[in-house]
Amino acid sequence: MISSHHRPVVDKLVLSAAVDPYLGMEALAEYSSLSTRTLRGLLADPVRPLPHFKIGSRTVVRRSDFDAWAAHHRRVGSDVEEKIARLRKRKPVAY
């Protein structure tokens, strides 16, 4: 009989999550909040295409490759401030 103060011992730990998974277009769309159509267009971007692998008929993107690619497109500071300033200068729409 096992007393109530003994806790079970874990003999083996199995990690089921990949550290750097390959994402199909649907999974990447969910991860990135971009549509699959937009992502497919980014694969063929002539200036800085999204890195990807074609395995048979399937296209996959390594999550770390997407994150690095997206970081290259990050905009901060003056770009945001300029857009806000332009929006404030627009004439109000009469209804």
For 46-89, what is each residue's pLDDT tens digit? 999 999 999 999 999 999 999 999 998 876 666 666 777 777 77
Radius of gyration of the chain from its Cα atoms, rounded to whole angstroms: 23
Q: Which residue has the tokens 């083996």?
A: 12
3-state secondary structure of 26: helix
Residue 29 reports pLDDT greater than 70: yes
As a dihedral over the C-alpha atoms of residue 50, residue 52, residue 58, residue 60, rounded to 10 degrees, the angle is: -90
> What mean pLDDT value characterizes the chain?
82
